Amino acid sequence: MALNLKKNDTVKVISGKARGKTGKILLVYADKNRVLVEGVNLVKKHQKPTQQDQKGGIVDREAPIHVSNLMLVSAKSNEPVKVVRRAVDGKRVRVEKKTGKAVE
């Protein structure tokens, strides 16, 4: 399954405990169909003290979220849009399904 989301895309969560939140994609795990979104799906992690971080404790970190729970947010209209891949001038480009305009 080809992912229609890339790093630095802005996405909106459409289901789950973080429903309604928006954020920027930090990492894409294509083999697991999951992405890491900034400020979304936060979990508590117990951190041991290290040389770099003298203080240990409990920190909030982002956990990966499945791509089926996300929708790409259009940069122009700032609304969630469905995305498909279409061939334009011999290249496969991500295109908004409703308007037919390229996402990039």
Q: Buried b vs exposed e over 24-40: b needs ≥16 C-beta within 10 Å?
A: ebeebeeeeebbbbeeb
Q: What is the pTM of this model?
A: 0.83
Half-sphere exposure of 28 (CA within 13 A, CB side): 15
Longest dimension (CA), the chain: 55
Provide CATH code, domain 10-49+56-75.
2.30.30.30
Whether the per-residue pLDDT at 60 is higher than 80: the answer is yes
The predicted pLDDT at position 97 comes to 87
Average pLDDT of 86-103?
Answer: 87
Domain boundaries along the sequence of the chain: 10-49+56-75
Q: How confident is the model at residue 89 (pLDDT cuts 50, 70, 90)?
A: confident
> Do 3 and 67 form a contact (C-beta atoms < 8 A)?
yes
Tens of pLDDT, residues 11-45? 999 999 999 999 999 999 999 999 999 999 999 99
Q: Which residue's entry shows tokens 């405990």?
A: 17
**93: Cβ contacts below 8 Å, ≥ 6 apart:** 85, 86, 87, 102, 103, 104
Q: Buried b vs exposed e over 72-83: b needs ≥16 C-beta within 10 Å?
A: bbbeeeeebbeb
Average pLDDT of 95-102?
Answer: 86
Whether the per-residue pLDDT at 9 is higher than 70: the answer is yes
